Amino acid sequence: MAKFRLRDRLRYRFDATLSRGATGLIVWLFVLAGLIALVSATIVTLSHTAPAGPGGVRPGFSLLVWQAWQRTLNLTVGYGPLPYIIGTFIPTLGSLFIGGIFIGLLTGGIQNKIRNLRKGRSLVVEENHTVILGWSQQIFQVISEIAQANYNKEDACIVVLGERDKVEMEDTIREKVKKLGHTRIVCRTGNPLDLTDLAIVNPDAARAVIVLAPETKDPDAHVIKAMLALTRRQGSQGCPIVAEIRSPRNRPVAQMLGKSRVRVVLVDELIARITVQTCRQVGLSAVYGDLLSFEGDELYLKHEPALTGKTFGQALMAYEDSCAVGLQRDGQSRFNPPLDTVIKETDKLIALAQDDDTIHLSGRTDIPIDSAAICDPPVETRTPERTLLIGWNRRAPLIIRELEQYVVPGSILTVAADLADGAGIMERQGQKCKNLSITFRGGDTSDRTFLEALEVATYDHVITLGYSDKLGPQEADALTIITLLHLRDMADTLTIRFSIVSEMLDARNRELAEVARADDFIVGDKIVSQLLAQMSENPELIPDDLFDAGGSELYLKPASHYVSLDKPVNFYTIVESARRHHEVAIGYRKVTKEAQLNRAFGMHLNPNKAEVVKFSANDQIIILSES
């Protein structure tokens, strides 16, 4: 039988009394006050320090206890006959309870208000703000880009509506996005598909709404429903809506809902196109990253009445610290239009500039062009190419389709993946191709032996994809990084060089993967986020033509195709050389060992045209061209 100490028994009785509720608690408060009063009266009595009362008589011990007990409970009770004490104690005790109830109600009301505020259900009273509907990993990159775009504004606001706790969203954004500048972040908890919740973020007064695709199996349905809720609330006169859609078949539905208000980003097609373009040109992803980012030079629309009646070819020389790259006419953006296109009064120039307030005509009439340094490019003979695709996800068929448009007949594509019925899938894909011959090699793409058996050195281009259809972003990226490490070690062992383009699902894994020294990375979410931010900040600018194989695209071409090497030339001369070949030069790439260690890969977009540069054999010119 267990023996209990006196302390245990007292604690048990104390707990039992408290369990009775408020009555027990009040009793113990009075008892505690009495004990404190006894201690206080004892100290004063023994020290003989009590001041003398009326008639010079010091109060006795009982009176000191009584006074101390009143002070402890903050009571005002008379000292005298018992009826008098009771009569003065009752209203004092009543005031104690009423005051306690009042304080409790006040405290409870304040706490409820704070809890409601923390729930994120209060109305957002903002104007000209950017609304982001939904929550996904790419929201951090979107916010970062918009904050960068608003860097010069004194007071900018981004409002996020997501199905998460308000405080959790705000804390996560502060943790992930370090440079917000003057941009305030306001988060609200709610369902973007609910009209009542949608009203909380005040989309009627917003300058743009971005609809993010959720991380679900059917994100397009969620995005279209959110757009339907927006258009039903705002009608046809609302702010521009920028949304990401996975499947091309859903694009007409999305545009039908918002008509001219909607700007749709076809995520998978965009990533597939840039992946194919970059795998054939090392370093091109850095150009896209710089071009779509608000940090550095970006695209702007500029109405330039002084150029009305002039040709687009003449406009190329009209700016010294900006770069004309296209025209917008009748709501359509055209990059590198025919050089003899006459600029109309209603046209807007698409310019690459550091900021929208830096686009100014140079006014120069004496353009310093070194005609003697201009070279004619050699006739290029295209030959069949060999491409190795490692890994598989839903974007792989789109990549195959895009690659088919770039290569010449006789080209070979080998798909190596851990894929069930891979041979049958490749056979069906091959039936759609005229220029590509597709073969399949099944196996574990993170296994060194399997990779060595592929004879990677025999291919011109290597693309690695994550298994995002069956794995989460982190697990898929981990396998991709392992594959990259093996491929680069194989290249070092065999003392060979081949380009690798890798898809990273999470932009945060890029820094980890850099140890693999891959030539290029296609960080899907990052590029999509940059484009969403660009289109929300410049809703009139539609850069679809820039990523279409049928339009003008970005290319990196040898500098020797345009100017003489080892001879200082200014960028005016390079622009003129490219113009003679119906191309637009927008920058250059210096290929040095130091540049390869830089994330920009030695890229220089929109250089000052008057600056003199000396090019070497490996340097390249960044141009817009149809081929």
Judge whether residue 596 has pLDDT over 70: no
C-alpha–C-alpha distance, residues 187 and 142, integer Å:
15
DSSP string, 320-388: SSSEEEEEEETTEEEES--TTPBPPTT-EEEEEESSGGG------SS----GGGB-PPPPP-----EEE
Structure token pair of residue 352: 């690459």
pLDDT of residue 45: 72
Query: Angle CA(182)–CA(173)–CA(161) in degrees, nearest 5?
Result: 95
Which CATH number applies to 390-459+461-497: 3.30.420, 3.40.50, 3.30.1560, 1.20.120?
3.40.50
Q: How many CB atoms are closer than 10 A to CB 308?
A: 13
CA pair distance 522, 271, nearest whole angstrom? 8
pLDDT for 400-432, tens place per residue? Answer: 998 998 889 999 999 999 988 888 999 899 888
Percent of the chain with pLDDT over 70: 78
Cα–Cα distance between 192 and 488 in angstroms, integer? Answer: 45
Asked whether the beta carbons of 277 and 553 are under 8 A apart, the reply is yes
> What average pLDDT does range 335-358 have in this prediction?
88
CB 612 within 8 A of CB 568: yes
Exposed (0-12), middle (13-18) or buried (19+): which is 490, by Cβ within 10 Å? middle
Task: Name the pairing type of β-strands 386-390 and 461-464.
Answer: parallel
What's the confidence (pLDDT) of residue 57? 62
Residue pair 585/562 in contact (Cβ under 8 Å)? The answer is yes
State the DSSP code for 563: B
Return the CATH number of 280-377+530-625, one of 3.30.70.1450, 3.40.50.300, 1.10.40.30, 3.40.190.10: 3.30.70.1450
- Distance CA(294)–CA(310), nearest Å, equals 30
Interatomic CA distance for residues 158 and 178, integer angstroms: 15
Would you say residue 543 has pLDDT above 80? Answer: no
Cα dist from 54 to 69, 264, 334, whole Å: 21, 90, 101
Confidence of residue 566 (pLDDT cuts 50, 70, 90): confident
Task: Identify the top-confidence range among 272-286, 525-539, 578-592.
Answer: 578-592
* β-strand pairing of 332-335 with 208-211: unpaired
Cα separations in angstroms, 480 against 188, 457, 599 = 36, 19, 20
Residue with tokens 């710089």: 290
Least confident of 191-205, 239-253, 444-458, 509-523: 509-523
- If you average pLDDT over residues 506-520, what whole number do you get? 64
The two structure tokens encoding residue 152 = 């010069």
DSSP 264-330: EEEHHHHHHHHHHHHHTSTTHHHHHHHHH-SSS-EEEEE--GGGTTSBHHHHTTS-SSSEEEEEEET
**If you average pLDDT over each of 35-39, 127-131, 216-220, which comes out highest?**
127-131
| 390-459+461-497 shares the fold of 130-271 | yes
- Cα–Cα separations (whole angstroms), residue 213 to 167, 292, 426, 603: 22, 20, 29, 32
More confident residue, 184 or 542: 184
Q: What is the pLDDT of residue 100?
A: 66
**pLDDT the model gives residue 170:** 86
> Quick check: 507 and 523 in contact, CB under 8 A?
yes
Six-digit token string for 29: 């408060």
Using CA atoms, how far apart are residues 347 and 593, in angstroms rounded to an integer? 43
Question: Does the pLDDT at position 325 exceed 60?
Answer: yes
Mean pLDDT of 17-21: 61
More confident residue, 17 or 566: 566
Distance CA 521, CA 575 (A): 29
pLDDT band per the 50, 70, 90 thresholds, residue 381: confident
Q: How confident is the model at residue 1 (pLDDT cuts 50, 70, 90)?
A: very low
Q: Rounded to an integer, what distance in angstroms lies between the CA atom of residue 518 and that of residue 285?
A: 12
Confidence of residue 102 (pLDDT cuts 50, 70, 90): low
Q: Which CATH superfamily is 130-271 part of?
A: NAD(P)-binding Rossmann-like Domain (3.40.50.720)
Please name the residues in contact with 504: beta carbons below 8 A apart, sequence gap of 6 or more. 466, 477, 480, 510, 513, 521, 522, 523, 524
Comparing 265 with 414, the larger pLDDT belongs to 414
Share of the chain above pLDDT 90, in %: 14
Higher pLDDT, 452 or 505: 452
Mean pLDDT of 278-306: 82
pLDDT in tens, 429-443: 988 899 999 999 999
As a whole number of angstroms, the longest Cα–Cα distance in the chain is 123
Domain boundaries, the chain: 29-38+60-109, 130-271, 280-377+530-625, 390-459+461-497
Rounded distance between C-alpha atoms, residue 358 and residue 120, angstroms: 40
Q: What is the mean pLDDT of the chain?
A: 80
How far apart CA 15 and CA 23 sit, in angstroms, is 13
